Amino acid sequence: MTGRLPPLAMTMGDPAGIGPELALAAWRLRKEGGPPFFVLAAPAHLAAIAGRLGWDIAIVETDPAGAASAFERGLPVVPLEAAVAAEPGRPAAGNAAATLESIERAVAATRAGDARAVVTNPIAKATLYEAGFRFPGHTEYLGALAAAAWGETVFPVMMIWSEALAVVPVTIHVALAEAPKALTRELIVATARIVARDLKARFGVARPRLAVAGLNPHAGEGGAMGREEITIIAPALEILRAEGLDVAGPLPADTMFHAAARARYDVALTMYHDQGLIPAKTLAFDEGVNVTLGLPFVRTSPDHGTAFDIAGRGVANPTSLIAALRLADRLTR
């Protein structure tokens, strides 16, 4: 590895989804400037998908240390110990152990210095829940793995990033009816601090500009349409301003995402999941990248799901996964 940066560690995702074929497609398109990576998966499963699609791709079994030198010869695959028995489009709880092992070992490879970032393929949370998975999603699970491996408190924050827009939902994987109950001053302050810190440290933004949405229509209209802006959001922003952060808000969410408004900030903080992800995916569905802030390592992911309905057909668009690889490469150079 002397004189060469370590590769990126890519997870398998749900083996019945589009993750495996996206990994194969990303390797096929490596000449377009993608960084070297290895996949933690079942070699036979990837070989079977490549054969099914008619793609002539050599699967090179390797360990993380040998992945970079193998990358031009074929797709480097670090074999999993858990069994994988998956048919495209047919998720099964029996593959949960392999899905989670792939994530755990990618984090471990990064911790050991054998990889410089983790790039995850989509998982199916409902399938994992059937097998006893107890985390709300990928983001929270990565936070727990990081806390255990690095021995420190971790507060993971999900950011959806593209050249057009970056958004951070303050409440994430909770029902819409529960989001106002989960929203607190402390949560807004902690989230904004992580966002500002990582935009400086990893994205090179000298003074991050944060635009913070209100929860209610018209940002509450002075209390006529809800008081969360007055009692929760505005006091949190005063704390952040006192710390020297550049924050604007609470702002009406319906006027935050047109081009002129986006030019005035670096990232938008929204109060619930769809308030931010709808504009982010509308503006850059294929190019969007899910970035987890607040971790002791870089993690990126395509901004879409498992797409079981098209898995195994070779029509899944690898653009978002390639964007995730390129962003992870950029953030770790």
Q: Same CATH fold, 157-294 and 1-153+296-333? A: yes
Binding residues for a divalent metal cation, by number, are 173, 218, 273
What are 208-251's pLDDT values in tens digits?
Answer: 999 999 999 999 999 999 999 999 999 999 999 999 999 999 99
User: Is the model's pLDDT at 3 over the cut of 70?
Assistant: no
Binding positions for substrate: 138-139, 281, 290, 299
pLDDT tens digits, one per residue of 170-215 = 999 889 999 999 999 999 999 999 999 999 999 999 999 999 999 9
Is a pLDDT exceeding 50 seen at residue 2?
Answer: no
Q: What percent of the chain has pLDDT over 70?
A: 99
Residue 274 has pLDDT above 90, yes or no: yes
Q: How deeply is 93 buried, as exposed, middle or buried, from its count of CB atoms within 10 A (0-12, 13-18, 19+)?
A: middle
CATH superfamily of 157-294: Isopropylmalate Dehydrogenase (3.40.718.10)
Question: How do residues 296-331 score in pLDDT, each as one tens digit?
Answer: 999 999 988 999 999 999 999 999 999 999 999 999
Task: Calculate ∠ Cα 69-73-74, nearest 5°.
Answer: 105
pLDDT at residue 1 in the model: 39
Percent of the chain residues past pLDDT 90, beyond the cut: 92
Average pLDDT value for residue range 51-75: 95
Mean pLDDT, the chain, as a whole number? 95
Confidence of residue 31 (pLDDT cuts 50, 70, 90): confident
Which CATH architecture is the domain 1-153+296-333 placed in?
3-Layer(aba) Sandwich (3.40)
Q: What is the pTM of this model?
A: 0.93
- Parse the chain into domains and list their residue ranges: 1-153+296-333, 157-294
Q: Residues comprising the binding site? A: 138-139, 173, 218, 273, 281, 290, 299
Q: How far apart are CA 189 and CA 191, in angstroms?
A: 5
Peptide bond into 296 cis (omega under 30): no
Mean pLDDT across 120-137? 93
